[in-house]
Structures are given as structure tokens and as C-alpha cells.
Amino acid sequence: MVECWNTFGDLGYATRSSDRKLADALQLAAVLGGDVGAFRVGLCWVVRDTRANRAVVARYAHIFESRFPGSSRAWVEAITKGTPMPSQPGLVWCDVKATRLFARRRINEAG
């Protein structure tokens, strides 16, 4: 499940909304998988790379780190090249024109 965000109005609402959608997708995956087993479901936020969004992610860095621990680089690859998705939720950036995805730098990375 890939959710695209232009801006964050209410971060709490955004995360609760994603949680509800993910729960619904997991239920559907279990039903559709039948005897074979549930399909894999993942979550990735694609966030428009604006000064305001970067400020929110920086201000609440530890919240974003705990909510989206999956490899941003691996999520970019999964979305753009069809490689297997990471097992943990992720967050990636898109350019302002929404034509390119790129990995975010983690708080524990240099820079």
C-alpha cells in the first residue's frame, strides 16, 4: 500500500488513517490468499519533498523512525523496479513535480 502525501495537516490523523487502511488490506489479503495463505501487504508513504514536509519529518524524527523503520532505498527499488518490498513500513521522498522517488536519510546517517 503506497500512500502519497503532499502535506501533513494532522500527523496523528494521517497515521491512524494509514493504520485503518493497512488493517483492511491485511484482512483482504487473508481472504484472497485462501488456502495458499495471505498475500503480503506492506506500507510506504511517498512524501512530496518540500521545505514544510522536511521540517515536519525533522521535528518528529523519532516518530517517523519508529513508524517507518523499513529501508527507504529498498522501498524506492520495490516501487520503481518491482523488487521485493521490505517487511517493514517505509517512507520515501518524491520531487516537487512527483516525477522521481528518492530515499530519505535516516537520523542516524551522517549529514
Give the number of domains in the chain.
1
In-domain check, residue 56: yes
Domain that holds residue 86: 2-103
Is residue 77's pLDDT more than 60?
Answer: yes
In-domain check, residue 110: no
Residues 6+ apart with CB under 8 A from 12: none
Residue 107's pLDDT is what? Answer: 62
Is residue 110's pLDDT more than 70?
Answer: no
Mean pLDDT of 45-59: 95
Is residue 108's pLDDT more than 70?
Answer: no
Q: What is the number of other CB atoms lying within 10 angstroms of the CB of residue 62? A: 9
In-domain check, residue 108: no
Give CB contacts under 8 A, 24+ apart, made by 47-51. 47/4, 47/5, 47/91, 47/92, 47/93, 47/94, 48/4, 48/5, 48/6, 48/7, 48/93, 48/94, 48/95, 48/96, 48/98, 49/93, 49/94, 49/95, 49/96, 49/102, 50/7, 50/96
Mean pLDDT of 40-69: 95
